[in-house]
Structure formats: structure tokens, C-alpha cells
Amino acid sequence: MTVLRRLAYGAFGVACLHLVFGAIVRISGSGMGCGDHWPRCYGRWFPPLDRPDLIIEVSHRYLASILLLSLVALLIAAWRRRGEPGVAGPGGVLRSAALAVALGFSAALLGAMTVKLGNAPFATLAHWTVAMSLVATVVASVIRTGGLGGAAARLGGASPRARRGSLAGAGLALLTVVMGGLTAKYPGAAVACRDFPLCGANPDVARAAVHVQITHRVLAVLVVLHLIGLAVGFTRRGEPAIVRRAAMIAASLGVVQLVVAGAMIGLRLPPVLRSLHEATGVSIWIAAFALAYLARRASGAAS
């Protein structure tokens, strides 16, 4: 299981880097850095690195290839060890690794569709949503190998209430991060609100864009309050230590995100803070999903 855990951690690291770099592609406007060519960049696997947007886009594609290779390596290793306890069957890493590979290829195909459609908002949002599902599946693989608190969760002790509350938090986090992707791509939504925490609607953008921004903000506040409530409630009820720690990490990331969001709006959306905002949002989703998965396993539910 040690080899599988290392491979799962490696895939997790690449997946996180790939997601953050995807945000840089979007924020820097480099999504069409290779034109409408896919998978090659202007007909070449290794094009001349003579433009910043091309460098950013092709680097994102290289990372996607590395991620797919790491997922396939994890799947092959799990298949070869399928006779070992905890590898095959329900709750085993073999199944989550197979799902991760399927999602990885799906994300690649959606990436191709996004390029062919000229970075259309709906295609980009679909690509982003599948990417979020992919990283969650990789997190599940790490936990199933005993990493990220998976070994401690096997000891059990979590209540059904903790499982349900954590699942709700993960659902809110996913909805928030997807709405964040929509806010980034919907015309005018990123600049629709000029103040924080109140909106201060920008009169130069459509009302629909303002509604998208406000919806994202409301969801963000709800998920942060929910995660804080989970952390406090788990401590008071004496839930297992691994579940309490996971809730505290998720809640802390939520608070950090509010600070980053306020600074980003106050400084008029500098690219560095936009990238940090997106990276923190992804981290919240990962932490919330890990919390839900750990609480589920610690409660004895089938996983």
C-alpha cells in the first residue's frame, strides 16, 4: 500500500498544480495561446516558446499530460496489487483510480472542445467542473491508501450527524467553486461588484453579471459559516480528532479566502490576487471534500 500511497500523493500534487495553472491560463487570457489547435500547438508538440500566452497555454497542456500519466500509473499499480487487502472492491483504491483516469480523459476532451469553441463560457465551465470532480477523486484515492488521514479514519467514531453536515459542506463548496468559475468567464461578472463585502454594483455591466457575482458571494459566505459551524460543533461533540482537524483546516481556509477576496476587490483585481483567490477556492473544495470523505469513513458508512 505504501507504493500506491506515494503514487496517489504524486497524482494529487500534479492535479493541484494543474488546477492552479489552469486558473493562470484563464486569468492571463492565454486560453487561445495555441490558437484552435489541439492537442498540438500550431501543429507542433514542442512549439517555439516565443509568446507569453503560448508558453502559459502549452505548459498547461504539458501538465495535463503529466497528470494523465500519473493517474494511469496509479491505476496500473493498483491493478497489479488488486489481491492485497483494501485495494480492490468497495472502498478500494482500484475503483477510485479507474474513475480518476476516466475523468482525466473526459477533462482532456472537454479541454479540446473548449479550444475548438474559442473558449466559450459554457465549455470552460464544463471543463472546470470536471476538473473539480477529478481532483476530488484523486483525494479519495489518497485517503483510500491511508493518506490525508485515511488511516486514522478507519478507527471510526464519527457520528451520522458529522457525516451529513460534512457532506452538506462539500456540496456547498463545490457549488461555490463552480459559481466562481462562472463568475470568471461570464461577460462582466468579474468586475460587476466594486466594493466588499457589499456589492457596489458596477453600472457599466449588465444586471445579469451582477446577479452572477452576488450569487457567488452569497454562496461563499454560506460555505464559510457552515464550515466554521462544523468545526465548532465537532469540537463540542467530541468527534474523532481527524474529523475535527479536517473541519478546522477547511474553516480556516474559508476565513483566509474572505480576506483574499476583500483585498482582491479593494485593489481592483490584480492578477496575482485573482490567482491566489482561485487557488484558495480550490483548496477549500479539496478540504471540504476530504472532510466529508473522512467523516463518511469514520462513521462506518460504505465508501
pLDDT single digits (tens) 268-284: 999 899 999 999 999 99
Please give the pLDDT value at position 219: 97
Please give the pLDDT value at position 303: 60
Task: With 0.75 as the threshold, say if the pTM is over it.
Answer: yes
Please give the pLDDT value at position 302: 57
Characterise 47 by phi-psi region: left (phi > 0), alpha (psi -120 to 50), beta (else): beta
Per-residue pLDDT tens over the stretch 199-247? 988 999 999 999 999 999 999 999 999 999 999 999 999 999 999 999 9
What residues of the chain score a pLDDT lower than 70? Answer: 302-303
Nearest of 151, 158, 134, 152 to residue 282 by alpha carbon: 134
Helix 207-237 / helix 160-185 crossing angle, nearest 10 deg: 160
The DSSP code sequence of 230-277 is HHHHHHHHT--HHHHHHHHHHHHHHHHHHHHHHHHHHTT--HHHHHHH
What single-letter DSSP state applies at residue 190?
Answer: G
Please give the pLDDT value at position 266: 92
